[in-house]
Amino acid sequence: MNSYNLIMKLQAKMQDPRFADRFNRIVSEFNSIPGVQQEVMRIAQIEDEKKREKAISKLPDRVKKLVREVYSLLNE
């Protein structure tokens, strides 16, 4: 998914208050970890499942959990 599609999908899903609450909680956790935002956005744009999983596997455990939550939210 390219950046534009990712942003458009996120904007549409943010209309749902439950999604917005969960997403904002995850984002605030990301913001508390230095340098993670850019890496997570890069990973979110990887379309190949194997490459995405490989990139996620290199992240710290706490960040892996958060990335999987975001990915799951976006694909609900």
**56/51 Cα distance (integer angstroms):** 9
Pair of tokens at residue 57: 């596997």
Cβ-contact 6, 45 below 8 angstroms: yes
- Residues near 66 by Cβ (< 8 Å), separated by ≥ 6? 26, 29, 30, 40
For the chain, the first-to-last Cα distance in angstroms comes to 15
Choice between 50 and 67, residue whose per-residue pLDDT is larger: 50
Q: What is the pTM of this model?
A: 0.67
For the chain, the average pLDDT equals: 86
| Residue 1 reports pLDDT greater than 70 | no
Domain count, the chain: 1
d(CA 30, CA 35): 9
Domain range for 16 is 3-74
